[in-house]
Amino acid sequence: MTQDRPRVVVTRKLPDPIETRMMELFDVQLNLDDEPMPKADLIEAVKTADVLVCTVTDRIDSGLLSQAGENLRLIANYGTGVDHIDLASARQRGITVTNTPDVLTEDTADMTMALLLSVPRRLTEGERRLRAGDWNGWSPTGMLGHRIYGKRLGIIGMGRIGTAVARRARGFGISIHYHNRHRVHEDTEQELEATYWESLDQMLARMDMISVNCPHTPGTYHLLSARRLKLLQAHAVIVNTSRGEVIDENALTRMLVGGEISGAGLDVFEHEPAVNPKLLALDNVVLLPHMGSATHEGRIDMGEKVLINIKTFVDGHAPPDRVLGEGF
């Protein structure tokens, strides 16, 4: 790696201020079109780059990394989730992986709360009816939904985002429950008046709303399986702003079609950008195009994290956001 001007390949279009600063600091190859980098170009990138700046739309698997050149020593992921990167293969090849934690917490928690409000109150369904001209005025029984005040929310994954969701939900008078690999600090539990459930199955069966906030890892793939989804009460609502692979999407769709659960708010999908056509046809589902962290401020903050990680690594120090492990 050239210390002064390392070769950095960026796989997607990033905010202009971030790209400009990268050009000032490094020898950079930008992606001028905001489209995923084709596989052939991605192979060429790992062969020639000192640093690869990738995103969730890139599949950095063992096959790709086996073709990496000797100079590739850092994969600076533009995003928090790293389930698209084969961390074991990177580690074996001596490639450091970094991400951009913390900066997306509040934005994602905001979107989670928006979905928790939208699904029970049928907001998008009402908006669609209004635009379609299918509204004849106020009615005592028109567009009835459910209040969220006093309901129980079960949070799966009580990390930064899950905790931020809990703080927002408390402001709406919602009772906080959570399942996590490790119990959070007692002070946090007391602040949020949160109830810890060691058994995910037991928590699911008792909640009015579920929020998925754990990362996608081999251990959380289909964590909400068909069996576990069957534990939900018929009036329950489920929201996912984490990763689509955490939920068995086909099983969830069948239950929503059959009225076995009340509704869902989904910002992520198991096979995105593909979305199950049956989900698109449902009124009791709010669907968003993976925009939970999509704010101007958040995207700039992510880019600044990437810049710091690259500069620190090039200067011979351990980058602050090195990815060391998995879990939730």
Q: Which residues are catalytic?
A: 243, 272, 290
Check residue 120 and report its DSSP letter.
T
Name residue, tokens 């739309």: 57
Check residue 59 and report its DSSP letter.
-
Say how far apart CA 319 and CA 328 lie, in whole Å.
22
| Beta strands across the sheet bearing 175-179 | 195-196, 175-179, 152-156, 209-212, 237-240, 263-266, 285-287
Name residue, tokens 């995103």: 55
Question: Taking a C-beta distance cutoff of 8 angstroms, is the pair 292, 264 a contact?
Answer: no
Name residue, tokens 């998008």: 124
Residues near 111 by beta carbon (within 8 Å), at least 6 away in sequence? 241, 267, 288, 291, 292, 293
What is the CA angle 275-177-122, rounded to 5? 45
Tokens of 204: 């699911």
CA distances from 99 to 20, 86, 110, 249 (A): 20, 14, 21, 27
Cα dihedral: 120, 124, 79, 321 (round 10): -30
Say how far apart CA 154 and CA 168 lie, in whole Å.
14
Beta bridge partners of 210: 154, 238
Residues near 113 by beta carbon (within 8 Å), at least 6 away in sequence? 165, 168, 169, 172
